Amino acid sequence: MNEYELALVINGNLTDEARDEALEKVKQIIETENGSIFKVDDWWGGRILQYDIGKTREFFYYFISFDAETGEPFMMEQEIRKIDEVIRFLIVKTEK
């Protein structure tokens, strides 16, 4: 198993419930692809950018740390792309 971190940017114009649902969808994708989540960080919270992305400037940032087999993050990326509320994301392999 390898350790990964997912940086996730969710649209800030959503209600709290919609934002939580989008985060839960991402967590379910990780668990469905045999990932094991051990940390969810939202310490950045809501931020306003200097420029628009899709006519929006306010976003919420989350960092999800998880363990998974080598090929699984690619499959996770394919599924995360389908979630409309997710504006940007990046999965990187981290050192244990």
Residues 35-90: tens digit of each pLDDT? 999 999 987 778 877 777 777 888 999 999 999 999 899 999 999 999 999 999 99
**pLDDT band (50, 70, 90) for residue 19:** very high
Give the residue with greater pLDDT, 31 vs 48: 31
Residue ranges of domains in the chain, CATH in brackets:
2-85 (3.30.70.60)
Q: Is the pLDDT of residue 93 over 90?
A: yes
CA 77, 81, 85, 51 dihedral sign is positive
Q: What is the pLDDT of residue 47?
A: 80
Judge contact between 40 and 64, C-beta under 8 A.
yes
